């Protein structure tokens, strides 16, 4: 992952409305939520939300798909995953003991009951 893409994603998430939108979509799962409903749920005007959705999309954090008159937005889990990897990837250079808590936190925060054998 390139630095400028990481910046783009961090910038996209570093704004209250966009972070709320992203977390809403993360919670909503792969089915996604229509733009209008996002606006209603978060109390944002539609044109402002449109700009925010555009930023998140350009950052590769969400994707969209038309469904009739609505456009459905969904979180891009791969994009989020890449960012997390980027933020953590240099944490152990010569100091594995330092970021052990980080590793544990990541494992615990990530999915509820994943089999630990999943990591090759």
Q: Which residues bind DNA (CB under 7 A)?
A: 11, 15-18, 34-37, 39, 44-55, 64, 66, 68-71
Task: Pick between residue 18 and residue 49 the one whose CB is nearest to its own copies.
Answer: 18
By beta-carbon proximity to DNA, the closer residue of 63 and 92 is 63
Within the chain, strands assigned E span 33-34, 62-67, 70-75
Residue 87 makes CB contacts below 8 A (sequence gap 6+) with 6
Q: Considering only the stretches 33-41, 46-54, 65-73, 93-101, report the one whose residues sit in contact with its own copies under the rule CB under 8 A.
A: 93-101
CA distance between the termini of the chain: 21
**Which residues, in sequence order, are CB contacts of 62 under 8 Å at separation 6+?**
21, 22, 25, 53, 56, 73, 74, 75, 76, 79
Size of the site for its own copies (CB under 8 A): 55
Q: Does 42 bind its own copies (CB under 8 A)?
A: no
Told to check if 36 binds its own copies by CB under 8 A, we report no
Q: What share of the chain is helix, strand, coil (3-state, %, to 5)?
A: 60, 10, 30
What does 32 interact with, of its own copies, DNA, none (CB < 5 to 8 A by kind)?
A: none
Using CB under 8 A, list all residues that contact its own copies: 3-4, 6-7, 10-11, 13-16, 19-20, 23, 26-27, 29-30, 77-78, 80-82, 84-85, 87-96, 98-114, 116, 118-120
């Amino acid at each position: 992952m390139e630095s400028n893409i990481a910046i783009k994603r961090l910038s996209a998430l570093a704004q209250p409305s966009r972070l709320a939108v992203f977390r809403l979509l993360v919670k909503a799962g792969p089915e996604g939520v229509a733009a209008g409903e996002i606006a209603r749920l978060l109390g944002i005007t539609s044109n402002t939300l449109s700009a925010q959705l555009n930023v998140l999309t350009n950052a590769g954090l969400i994707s969209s798909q038309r469904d009739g008159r609505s456009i459905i937005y969904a979180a891009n889990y791969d994009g989020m995953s890449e960012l997390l990897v980027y933020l953590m990837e240099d944490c152990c250079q010569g100091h594995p003991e330092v970021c052990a808590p980080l590793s544990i936190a990541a494992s615990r925060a990530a999915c509820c009951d994943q089999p630990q054998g999943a990591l090759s």
